[in-house]
Chain A
């Protein structure tokens, strides 16, 4: 039995209750037993362990709903355990893992396997996302109902767009009966096929096969039309272009039940960061122009984009130390998500509470999770972070098994001091 824990003297940021101010939190038996906003907790019993926050930020543990590991099937890249350790180091206490593993998470036994592994690891909460179609082939529906029952939090074909509109319409309609959220990556596969960069002057000069931004908008418009047709909820998996934001804005204005994510990478980098063919900056969707990046930041600030994900995608050196067009796309991001996000607060672009919302209460509410907030009775998933400590990212020293971080060498401001999951200290700097 753990001793009660009091975290005092912090700047408490809880987007769910719209609170950003001084406070303290009492944790008993893995649950938040008391939240003091504005003041202290009063007299504490003798057996209480006290952590003095000394003015640091106390946030709900981050909820990252787009994480890839290599387990099952490619454990050399990343295991559930190594990803969970990276998450803990980054203040992420809940992660949703993608179904594109070997085997694919397209039936309940694989869902079960991941949940059991996560329970054994006992670090952060891990929820699987199930596949929309069997084998991610985009041909036949996977067992969405059974996977919902087994504990999937949403269904997605991860990076693979579902081309068949008839099938996707049925998926949206069918999933609704089980209250299952469907996520889809908007990308027209014919336009996007073989691309390594975004179409434009940079890709033209570098001689890289490229995809026009319209590829994202075309597929998003189709998806939104099908949402209107079926009335089902849709999670737009990573909006990265200004032109797709226009479509999203229209859909939201019309009251369609859509939620959108973007990745921290697309908020932090543009195509020029590829520089001399840096494969750590090869992503899927590819990095966009600076205009697109600015539009994304504005969209997060305006609440048009609801959720920010790390899009954690480990790739070992043998997949990255290749010519650019042969290299695997993706970047690790669990450990850098929070400090990278804080940059927009430091720069005065997005208020802290709104930034925190995109990685805590917004995703938690979308998926119906109890975490993502600092409230009496909620699970004690918390992260204590010093927002001003400068940190030079050294990819080689990341906890992740794979080190493919585009932030390598960059200075970020913000350091996770302590992470708690259900009251247990799972990381301490």
Chain B
């Protein structure tokens, strides 16, 4: 078996134990828990860069991926995270298999739960789906995105990327731009970044901002240049193309003109600004390729790398609380 890198061993030997059974929402977490998860994830980043990446922290455990919505990067990120920790990983595709035919979410969950998984990762198009599931199963449930509610592991990996790029999160000016209304990534990020002391701003056309978002303690901007002025991090969100077709914005070209991030608009931000995007990107719609591919500016590749490490940290922390023998 692989030797863990020295930094990781040190973190693993710390006594803090994660007190939650499920990982459903950033709102459930506190700063101590988040910091310990980030420290642990940092250690896993080093491991993931070794030739031999496999540990046995989750040996004998079963991780089940239950993705009711399509996802390439999140699902494979969880799959890799589980495998590198030594767990058996099963990917269920409920939409293609017979378990979805007329079966409710709860029935599916109860069926899968009977197969005794230890960790169940769920993505679903309905807000609250992960929470509902967690009430009906005996294993740990990890929310990999529920409707327009939360995507907590994304917020964790984003925070990890920022902390590694800037050495801190407190005091960073982070502008989250685009379709905030439909974005679970935005909701999780806002909560987590505010908890860690960042200043969060929201930028987008009024049609894409949630009602009463001003009560979230974020400054709201409808002009991209003003919104990202002096920002350390500009986080662009994916915008569903059909929403730009006269539904939420008149056209793609109008949207890109006012809310697409290009080099010229980015010049308004801080000189050491870093650009993030949860992916997948609509190039030329919300973000210009020139910006997305500039490694001096873009953290987008880092985010993907940090995703695996952050999820390994979450899985390790939850598994430490699992029953050993039922």
Contacts and interface: CB of A to CB of B under 8 A. Distances in A.
Contact of A212 (B150, B211, B215): B211
Contacts of B131: 276-277
B212 A201 contact: yes
Nearest to A322: B104
A205 interface: yes
B124 to A, nearest CB: 7
Interface stretch (A10-18, A69-77, A220-228, A323-331): A323-331
Contact of A323 (B127, B210, B215): B127
Contacts of B127: 206-208, 277, 323-325
Nearest to B27: A205
B296 interface: no
B128 A204 contact: no
Contacts of B106: 321-322
B149 interface: yes
A205 B146 CA distance: 12
A324 B126 contact: yes
A203 B131 CA distance: 16
Contacts of B216: 201, 204-205
A422 interface: no
Interface string A190-221: 00000000011101111111101000000000
A206 B149 contact: yes
Contacts of B215: 201
B129 A323 contact: yes
A204 B184 contact: no
Given A277-B132, A323-B129, A203 B211 contact: yes
Contacts of A47: none
A324 B104 CA distance: 13
* Of A199, A201, A205, A324, most B-chain CB atoms within 10 Å: A205
B148 interface: yes
A133 to B, nearest CB: 30
A318 interface: yes
Given A205-B187, A207-B127, A318-B104, A323 B147 contact: yes
Nearest to B150: A207
A207 B147 contact: yes
B25 to A, nearest CB: 9
Contacts of B124: 323
A318 B104 CA distance: 8
Nearest to B126: A323
B57 interface: no
Given A200-B212, A321-B106, A323-B105, A207 B184 contact: yes
B211 A323 contact: no
- Contact-size category for A: 20 to 34
Contacts of A323: 105, 124, 126-129, 132, 147
Contacts of A204: 210-213, 216
B87 to A, nearest CB: 27
A276 B128 contact: yes
Nearest to B25: A276
A199 B106 CA distance: 28
A257 to B, nearest CB: 35
A210 B211 CA distance: 9
B211 A326 contact: no
Contact of B211 (A200, A277, A322, A324): A200
Interface string B188-221: 0000000000000000000000111101100000
A280 to B, nearest CB: 13
B211 A201 contact: yes
Contacts of B129: 323
A276 B133 CA distance: 12
Contacts of A324: 126-128
* Of B124, B128, B184, B216, most A-chain CB atoms within 10 Å: B128
Contacts of A322: 104-106, 126, 132
Contacts of B126: 322-326
Interface in B147-184: 147-150, 184
A76 to B, nearest CB: 16
Nearest to B104: A322
Interface in A324-365: 324-326
Nearest to B210: A204
A200 B215 CA distance: 10
Interface of B: 104-106, 124, 126-129, 131-132, 146-150, 184, 187, 210-213, 215-216
11 contacts: A204-B213, A205-B216, A208-B128, A276-B131, A277-B132, A318-B104, A323-B128, A323-B132, A324-B128, A325-B126, A325-B147
